[in-house]
Amino acid sequence: MTRIELPASAESIAALKTGDVVKISGVMITARDAGHKFLVEHFIERSPQPDEAELFRKLSSLLRGGVIYHCGPVVAKDNGSWRFVSAGPTTSIREEPYEHKIIEAFGVRGIVGKGGMGEKTLEACKRFKAVYLHAVGGAASLIASSVVEVLDVHKLEFGVPEAFWVIRVKDFDAVVTMDSHGESLHKKVEETSTRHLDAIIKEIIQGK
């Protein structure tokens, strides 16, 4: 088990390999479909507009050496303060068109979600020293217990699940499934499954 403190250095990320179990502590940010689309269209494909300059500064600071969590939380507000009730990971492949651009432009060191991502993200992890981390699906309430503080929220007009939630986590558990050396457990599982399926189909055809 490896402890990762955010913001993370390129060296600490490069030391991670697929299969490593990590505990993450520090400040991370959630983002889903609307957030990824916004980052690319407003801050990468064009220069930030004057009314977006402050948000760009804040998000850039959070993302540099930071972690994006693919999460649509359930939240509550007590005495004016937000808290996470549920914080399960969402399917990451939906962000494949955007993630490689965000990793490069903002210096993101980690992506947390479920299900893995594709070749563009894997290549960006290799080129820019980042990792993809798999969180446990179906453990949303347990994961929420690692969120010790909600520091801020941006773009709440996107809706609660799609907003950028800035959270402080302590001992957030995850497994490295895509590393900065070009290795992907998701790709290996897919290749192995395909070989087994081909073998089964061949046996069925030969048995007829």
Residue positions annotated with a catalytic role: 36
Place of tokens 């991370």: 28
> 76-91 burial by CB neighbour count: b if 16+ within 10 A, else e?
eeeeeebebebbbbbe
**Cα angle 141-144-145, degrees, rounded to a multiple of 5:** 95
- CA–CA gap between residue 101 and residue 183 (Å, rounded): 19
Strand 67-69 relative to strand 74-78: parallel, antiparallel, unpaired?
unpaired
Half-sphere exposure in the Cβ direction for 118 (13 Å, CA): 9
What is the four-CA torsion angle of 145, 6, 30, 181, rounded to 10 degrees?
Answer: -110
DSSP single-letter state for residue 139: -
Query: 53-63 and 96-106 helices cross at what angle (nearest 10)?
Result: 90
